[in-house]
Amino acid sequence: MQSDPTRKHLDFHDTRRAMAAMDVNYPDGASTGSHSHPKGQLLYAIEGVMIVRSAEGTWVVPPSRALWLPAGLEHDVKMSGAVKIRTVFIDATAIQHMPTKSCVIEVSPLLRELIVAAVRIPLDYQDGGRDERLMRLLADEVTVSDVLPLHLPLPEDGRIKFICEAMIDQPSDISTAEQWAARLNVTAKTVHRLFVKETGMTFAQWREQARLLLALRKLASGERVIDVAFDCGYASQSAFTAMFRRHFGKPPSEFYC
């Protein structure tokens, strides 16, 4: 096996089986570097938070969530905290009903245990045996898992990109679309139209999503909820908690439990 964790996945690319799972650990701040896989990847960590970037945008993947990446998608994974990755490579041409696009899914207790167990399965597992049945059940669980709103799409238009980058750098900035439009010498209608065209989200939705992803990173680092709320531009902890609960069905204090 490869000793370099950023290259360990290469040992799992040539297996003739439709599915293979591996474990790899990274320290806080480490990065995999840009890479891709010939099979789809279910990227999951039993500890730590992953920030995944690609040309499609950015995902923040906290514990109890997993990211599905289609085959061939170039991406980079940066670690927030010590991260223990347990990932499954899946040939979507052989396993039916896998997601067609990148998405974050909720990991149920059953799916978590299946992923952990899959890591112990050899690459040359027997057809029709217990190991193959476990892998197939894992794939079935992926197909029925809820998709979560943890994606931040990036625009190509320079004007909207300028706004997005500024909001990422200063998430507490409460400037309105009208104020941003004035700075760019365009109309507010143009800003709203371009946000929907470029990101599929309204201005308000994109800003809320950017704040949400920053909040997940800060909460995973152990920061207090009230501090995270103010850093993300919310006037009170209760307003931030209401937004968080609307997305995840639970308050931020319970999200990593």
Structure tokens at 198: 């470029």
pLDDT confidence of 56, banded at 50, 70, 90?
confident
- Average pLDDT value for the chain: 90
| DSSP-H helix ranges across 97-151 | 109-118, 130-144
**With 90 as the cut, is the pLDDT of residue 245 above it?**
no
**pLDDT at site 185:** 95
Angle value at C-alpha 106, between 100 and 108, nearest 5 degrees:
120
**pLDDT at site 149:** 74
What residue has token string 């909820």? 225
Which sign, positive or negative, has the C-alpha torsion 186, 192, 198, 204? Answer: positive
CB 42 within 8 A of CB 142: yes
Say how far residue 222 (Cα) sits from the centre of its chain: 19
* Of 222 and 193, the one with more pLDDT: 193
Beta-carbon contacts of 168 under 8 Å, excluding residues fewer than 6 positions away, are: 210, 214
**pLDDT at site 3:** 62
CB 37 within 8 A of CB 22: no
**With 70 as the cut, is the pLDDT of residue 1 above it?**
no
**pLDDT at site 64:** 80
**pLDDT at site 216:** 83
CB 136 within 8 A of CB 125: no
Q: How many CA atoms lie within 13 A of 3 on its CB side?
A: 0
Chain segment 77-115, per-residue pLDDT in tens: 999 888 999 999 999 999 999 998 999 999 999 999 999
Range 139-158 average pLDDT: 89
Range 203-225 average pLDDT: 87
**pLDDT at site 4:** 77
**pLDDT at site 84:** 94
Range 214-227 average pLDDT: 85
**With 70 as the cut, is the pLDDT of residue 257 above it?**
no
Q: How many CA atoms lie within 13 A of 35 on its CB side?
A: 17
Structure tokens at 218: 């800060």
Rg (CA), the chain: 20
Q: What percent of the chain has pLDDT over 90?
A: 61
For 6-10, 49-53, 86-90, 153-157, which range has the lowest pLDDT when averaged over its residues? Answer: 6-10
Structure tokens at 204: 């308000």
Could you list the beta-strand ranges (E) of the chain. 19-26, 40-54, 57-61, 65-69, 75-90, 103-106, 147-148, 151-153
Chain segment 128-144, per-residue pLDDT in tens: 899 999 999 999 999 99
Say how far residue 77 (Cα) sits from the centre of its chain: 10
**pLDDT at site 256:** 59
* Overall pTM surpassing 0.75 (yes/no): yes
